[in-house]
A and B are shown apart, each in its own frame.
Chain A
Amino acid sequence: MIEIHKLTKNFENIKAVDEVSVTIKEQTVFGLIGTNGAGKSTVLRMVSGVLKPDEGTVAVDNMPIYDNVEAKKKLFFIADEPYFFANANAQSMEHYYSGIYENFDKVEFYKYLEKFNLDKGRRIGTFSKGMKKQLALLLGICAHTKYILCDETFDGLDPVMRQGIKSIFAKEMEERGLTPVIASHNLRELEDICDHVGLLHKGGVLLSKDLEDMKCNIQKIQCVFSSTEDELKALNGLTVLKKEQRGSLCTITVRSTREEVEARFATVDMIFYEVLPLSLEEIFISETEVVGYDIKKLILG
């Protein structure tokens, strides 16, 4: 488990991260969402031990990370612009990392290279941006660390590659309990990967929740009420986050479980109702609007 407690970092007069507290549980895919400048990279660089926090702590499996080799052995950090040695190829990078990470799986690495059509002898300088990100991910995965920290690594990967990486993550999570932490400014990029999401804004955490919890606790209902009385009766006691009406068709977002909503609507005379699945985007819109933020401006542009 990675425990981040009241993490603060200033760059000269700019507060990049302001008292961020998040817990990253094992064997979950943690998504760190935020606009450019929200502090995602800074948080990841502190979590990986690159930056020293001005205040607060980062503990990786109860070990402080900064200048702690034992803690660093447990994670692999892929920066937003991963660095490869000048004139290096995939093979020479493998030599370097396999010398540093004691569990580096060379066989698996070359297998993955082949699977992703990456030439092990080709100079990395000639790779496309996406190929470099793939290579960095494969190096990170094959380092066999417990945690892999990816800073904007998925942005720009094509859907096939994303799916490929996603399936590798799933396999590694199942086989050895890998915990990926993925930072992105694009909510849609993380929707199908993350189990838990932390939303950063202006250096602070707006929310941090399990995606399933969020999905289970927010319901979107499309319905047509028979009468106003029926509507009042159906919504009485429910926390309505959002309500839109077009003619007689209502779209209501409420904080409740699906079962509770269905049970309540079953007791009311409805012309029509249906409980619909919410996208991650819709969940975030609903959650952040409650606390006074317009998520569309923050993340979706």
Chain B
Amino acid sequence: MTSKNSFWASSRENHKRRIWVWVVAVLSQLLVYCAMTTIYLSRIKNQYEMGAFRTVEAFRRAMYQAARDALAFSDNLWPVVTFLGAVIAMQGFSYLYDRRKVDMYHSVPVSKKQRFVVIYINGIIIYLTGNLLGLLTGTVIAAAQKAVNVDVLANEGLAFMWNFLLFLVIYHAMILAVMLTGSRFVTLCMFGVFVTYEMMMYWILESMKWSFFKTATSFYLYTDPKVSPLYDCMEMGLELKNASDAALAAGICLPICGKWILIAAVLFAAAYFCYRKRQSEAAGKAIAYRAAEPIVKIAVAIPAGLIVGMVVLDTSYNNEMLMVISMLVGGVIFCAALEVLFAFDIKSLFKHLWSGGIVLVGILVVFCIYKWDVFGYDSYIPEKNEIESIAISVSEYYDNYWNDNFEYISLADFEKEHMFLTDTEPVLTLARKFQMADAEQMADARSVHVLYRLQSGRQVNRSFMIDYADADAQTQLNRIMASEAYKKGVFQYMTEEPFLEKLTRVTYSNGAAQVAIPVEEAGRLKEAWMKDIEQYDFTLVRENHPCGQINFQYVNYMSNYLQVYEGFENTIACLQELEAYYPVKLDAADIDYITVTNYHNELTKPVLMDDSGHDFYRGVYGSAVALEAAYVEDLYVDYSVRETFYDEAQIAEILENIHPIWMVSEFAGRDATEDNYSVEVVFKKDTSYPYERDSYYFNYYFLGGQVPEFVVEATAYVEE
């Protein structure tokens, strides 16, 4: 090949054909970078002029952050990059759609490989030129306003790589879509399927799992789309933007970038393979490879039908028959639509019925798998010898938890990281007894989440109801909750430094009194509590309510709590020594009055039933037709009766039988408190009792079966 016909000559000629793409790529990125930089920095400057920053240093920091927001991981940029990746790829290879262009390009003495490489590299050059130009201009604008430092530049570099890899993934996906199709419209549809397929499948399978499997849970393990860059951008974008420095951002984005490199490489290989195999006569067809048509039809119509079914299931209040019908109808409609698209002929509606049949069978098979739990999802309990360790969550809320960066994390994440029960028998016993049991037959059904860490490295997460009232369950729960492994998984103080150096305030509260404790005494208090927590088990929390709690407050308004029970002698002794202990029972002499409200739920409940016996909520949202209009009106009738007690004797009797609402043990039985009543305690203004002065009254519950007779009588409902 002579120099005239060299790569660069071809490249130059190709660029001439892509002027408008150049214009779009450069202008859009220039606009986004420059406009955002200008707007973000101006906003900070305006705030500064309005006195929003106390120091110049704070203003500088805000300027740097604004420059980062505009030039690094910007929410506004990844949609532009995605758009450009798709447009540049489609325009570059669009000659393949047109027979006239194919005749010309494929007859001239340029190899297929060279043509691909020229178009491919030119596309990247177009994107990079626009991106670098925009980034550079934006950086100059920011630098002129002294909003650029090393961290901003490092973040820009990371974001440049992030955006470039996102571009490559999208670019390759679109090239593959072009290679597989023969017209712009079908290419766009195919591209749409590529970039959303995993998210779509994820949504369908998760929705079906949640709809049909009663042990489904995402408490410990949640599945995310793994190869969807757009999902990554949506999920991680904010995290990257909020990363405190470039090192942290690198820690977040580099693993994702590595994944994107792999995805981009696979897509490129597939796209180039299809390019080599693509024949010129594919121009103008819907799908370039005839053999791919039924595959595309089946791969698209099955999930499409399932989506229709799930939407109908969701909106028809779990009407499964309607779901099945709509899934099949949806499948048929999509099959017919795809056949019309493939042939560009409305008469092709019912062509290739065999593949349509596969679609319908596929839809029914998926439905049956979930409906009848063919693979035993709900009944799955691993064998003892398969399990390495277990984490179990019996409480929705224990405390606040934090990670190494002193950021809040969820209870599930903490347990997952710190609870390793190797005594697996109690959990397996609970699972065998209750996993498939009917919760409605249980006296005190409560949900538990279990994470099985298997020897194989696999992790399995299940959720089921257990009966707290069941003696066997109590025995197993005692064994679980008394174990060191369990406590390490729920009490952060057992395993980690409590950040004592970051403590700002320590208080003790019994539900009404709030007493400050010197911060330097926190260590001693913690040690006392650590001794007492050895007696922690299910029986303790089932039969006792906490009598108080120690509250640790840290910098950045973070806090956590240590529950104190009456048997915690060491802790109580320490608190008494610090003159911070106040019994949970209040003294009538300190109380001004008590107001009791009886909600009379027993009167409200009957009218909450509809004709078919469903309760109100199911009635209204589930079978509204069955609910009589009169009932609906009745729902708003207030049957509650309030009575205030001033008599000291009556107050004393009430105080003997109540417990602070927010210190009721969540493990206690359903009848441990009287939820028909609420009690508001109001202290005398002149009392020396150290109640929290910001509060006007304090909320309590009557303990189960301990509502004084005079209260019952005084709050009885009398029909007018």
Q: Which residues of A are at the interface with B, using a C-beta cutoff of 8 A?
A: 11-12, 45, 48-52, 67, 69-70, 72-73, 75-77, 79, 81-83, 85, 92, 95-102
CB-based contact A99/B102 at 8 Å? no
CB-based contact A67/B111 at 8 Å? yes
B634: chain A residues at CB < 8 Å are none
In the bound complex, what is the Cα–Cα distance between A52 and B277 (angstroms)?
Answer: 10
CB-based contact A79/B100 at 8 Å? yes
A82: chain B residues at CB < 8 Å are 100, 104
Given that A48-B107, A73-B109 are known contacts, is A96 also in contact with B281, CB under 8 Å in the complex?
no
Pick the interface stretch among B2-10, B479-487, B686-694: B2-10
A98: chain B residues at CB < 8 Å are 4
Partner of B103, one of A73, A77, A85: A77
Given that A79-B100, A81-B100, A96-B13 are known contacts, is A50 also in contact with B107, CB under 8 Å in the complex?
yes
In the bound complex, what is the Cα–Cα distance between A91 and B12 (angstroms)?
Answer: 16
Interface range on chain B: under 10, 10 to 19, 20 to 34, or 35 or more? 20 to 34
Can you report 9 A-B residue pairs in the complex whose CB atoms are below 8 A from each other?
A: A48-B103, A48-B106, A77-B104, A79-B104, A83-B100, A99-B4, A99-B9, A101-B5, A102-B2
In the bound complex, what is the Cα–Cα distance between A176 and B170 (angstroms)?
Answer: 50
B280: chain A residues at CB < 8 Å are 45, 50-52
In the bound complex, what is the Cα–Cα distance between A45 and B106 (angstroms)?
Answer: 9
In the bound complex, what is the Cα–Cα distance between A85 and B9 (angstroms)?
Answer: 17
CB-based contact B106/A50 at 8 Å? yes
Q: Does B17 contact A (CB under 8 A)?
A: yes
A100: chain B residues at CB < 8 Å are 4-5, 10, 108-110
In the bound complex, what is the Cα–Cα distance between A15 and B106 (angstroms)?
Answer: 22
Chain B contact residues: helix, strand, loop or mixed: helix
A123 CB to nearest B CB, Å: 15
Given that A50-B280, A51-B281, A102-B5 are known contacts, is A83 also in contact with B104, CB under 8 Å in the complex?
yes
Chain B 107-149 per-residue mask, 1 if CB under 8 angstroms from chain A, else 0: 1111110000000000000000000000000000000000000
Partner of B279, one of A51, A73, A81: A51
B112: chain A residues at CB < 8 Å are 67
A45: chain B residues at CB < 8 Å are 103, 107, 280
B103: chain A residues at CB < 8 Å are 45, 48, 50, 77, 79, 83
B23 CB to nearest A CB, Å: 14
Given that A79-B100, A85-B17 are known contacts, is A99 also in contact with B109, CB under 8 Å in the complex?
no
B3 CB to nearest A CB, Å: 9
Partner of A52, one of B16, B17, B279: B279
Partner of A69, one of B9, B12, B17, B109: B109
B629: chain A residues at CB < 8 Å are none
What 5 A-B pairs come out closest when comparing CB atoms?
A77-B107, A72-B109, A83-B100, A79-B103, A48-B107
A81: chain B residues at CB < 8 Å are 100
Residue from B4, B5, B16, B107 with most neighbouring chain A CB atoms (10 Å): B107
In the bound complex, what is the Cα–Cα distance between A102 and B290 (angstroms)?
Answer: 38
A48 CB to nearest B CB, Å: 4
Q: Which residues of B are at the interface with A, using a C-beta cutoff of 8 A?
A: 1-2, 4-5, 9-10, 12-13, 16-17, 98, 100-104, 106-112, 279-281, 290
CB-based contact A102/B107 at 8 Å? no
CB-based contact A49/B106 at 8 Å? yes
A11: chain B residues at CB < 8 Å are 281
B98: chain A residues at CB < 8 Å are 83
CB-based contact A72/B108 at 8 Å? yes
In the bound complex, what is the Cα–Cα distance between A12 and B10 (angstroms)?
Answer: 34
Q: Which residue of B lies closest to A99 (CB)?
A: B9
Residue from B10, B17, B109, B112 with most neighbouring chain A CB atoms (10 Å): B109
Partner of A102, one of B4, B12, B17, B101: B4
Given that A99-B5, A99-B13 are known contacts, is A69 also in contact with B107, CB under 8 Å in the complex?
no
B110: chain A residues at CB < 8 Å are 69, 100
A58 CB to nearest B CB, Å: 12
Given that A67-B111, A72-B109, A102-B2 are known contacts, is A50 also in contact with B102, CB under 8 Å in the complex?
yes
CB-based contact A72/B13 at 8 Å? no
A101: chain B residues at CB < 8 Å are 5, 108-109
B272 CB to nearest A CB, Å: 14
Additional A-B contacts beyond A45-B107, A76-B107, A92-B16 (14; CB < 8 A): A11-B281, A48-B103, A48-B107, A67-B111, A69-B1, A70-B109, A79-B104, A79-B107, A85-B17, A99-B12, A100-B109, A100-B110, A101-B108, A101-B109
In the bound complex, what is the Cα–Cα distance between A50 and B2 (angstroms)?
Answer: 22
B17: chain A residues at CB < 8 Å are 85
In the bound complex, what is the Cα–Cα distance between A51 and B13 (angstroms)?
Answer: 24
Q: Which residue of A lies closest to B1 (CB)?
A: A69
A99: chain B residues at CB < 8 Å are 4-5, 9-10, 12-13
In the bound complex, what is the Cα–Cα distance between A296 and B67 (angstroms)?
Answer: 80
B2: chain A residues at CB < 8 Å are 102
Q: Which residue of B lies closest to A70 (CB)?
A: B109
Residue from A50, A70, A79, A97 with most neighbouring chain B CB atoms (10 Å): A50
In the bound complex, what is the Cα–Cα distance between A49 and B102 (angstroms)?
Answer: 11
Q: Which residue of A lies closest to B6 (CB)?
A: A99
B106: chain A residues at CB < 8 Å are 48-50
In the bound complex, what is the Cα–Cα distance between A21 and B590 (angstroms)?
Answer: 114
B10: chain A residues at CB < 8 Å are 99-100
A197 CB to nearest B CB, Å: 23
In the bound complex, what is the Cα–Cα distance between A85 and B112 (angstroms)?
Answer: 20
B241 CB to nearest A CB, Å: 41
Partner of B111, one of A12, A69, A85, A96: A69
In the bound complex, what is the Cα–Cα distance between A64 and B103 (angstroms)?
Answer: 18
A163 CB to nearest B CB, Å: 27
A227 CB to nearest B CB, Å: 62
A216 CB to nearest B CB, Å: 36
Q: Which residue of A lies closest to B290 (CB)?
A: A12
Q: Which residue of B lies closest to A145 (CB)?
A: B109
Q: Which residue of A lies closest to B101 (CB)?
A: A83
In the bound complex, what is the Cα–Cα distance between A50 and B98 (angstroms)?
Answer: 13
Residue from B4, B9, B13, B108 with most neighbouring chain A CB atoms (10 Å): B108
A12: chain B residues at CB < 8 Å are 290
B279: chain A residues at CB < 8 Å are 51-52
In the bound complex, what is the Cα–Cα distance between A48 and B109 (angstroms)?
Answer: 10
Q: Which residue of A lies closest to B98 (CB)?
A: A83
In the bound complex, what is the Cα–Cα distance between A52 and B276 (angstroms)?
Answer: 12
A102: chain B residues at CB < 8 Å are 1-2, 4-5
A67: chain B residues at CB < 8 Å are 111-112
B5: chain A residues at CB < 8 Å are 99-102
A36 CB to nearest B CB, Å: 16
In the bound complex, what is the Cα–Cα distance between A11 and B284 (angstroms)?
Answer: 13
B104 CB to nearest A CB, Å: 5
Given that A99-B13, A102-B4 are known contacts, is A49 also in contact with B111, CB under 8 Å in the complex?
no
In the bound complex, what is the Cα–Cα distance between A244 and B279 (angstroms)?
Answer: 52
In the bound complex, what is the Cα–Cα distance between A77 and B106 (angstroms)?
Answer: 10
In the bound complex, what is the Cα–Cα distance between A92 and B12 (angstroms)?
Answer: 13
In the bound complex, what is the Cα–Cα distance between A52 and B279 (angstroms)?
Answer: 7
In the bound complex, what is the Cα–Cα distance between A76 and B108 (angstroms)?
Answer: 7
In the bound complex, what is the Cα–Cα distance between A73 and B5 (angstroms)?
Answer: 11
A78 CB to nearest B CB, Å: 9
In the bound complex, what is the Cα–Cα distance between A85 and B18 (angstroms)?
Answer: 11
Q: Which residue of A lies closest to B279 (CB)?
A: A52
In the bound complex, what is the Cα–Cα distance between A67 and B10 (angstroms)?
Answer: 17
B108: chain A residues at CB < 8 Å are 72, 97, 100-101
Q: Which residue of A lies closest to B95 (CB)?
A: A83
Q: Which residue of B lies closest to A136 (CB)?
A: B104
A145 CB to nearest B CB, Å: 9
In the bound complex, what is the Cα–Cα distance between A75 and B107 (angstroms)?
Answer: 8
B107: chain A residues at CB < 8 Å are 45, 48-50, 72, 75-77, 79
In the bound complex, what is the Cα–Cα distance between A96 and B5 (angstroms)?
Answer: 10
In the bound complex, what is the Cα–Cα distance between A52 and B110 (angstroms)?
Answer: 16
A278 CB to nearest B CB, Å: 36
B291 CB to nearest A CB, Å: 12
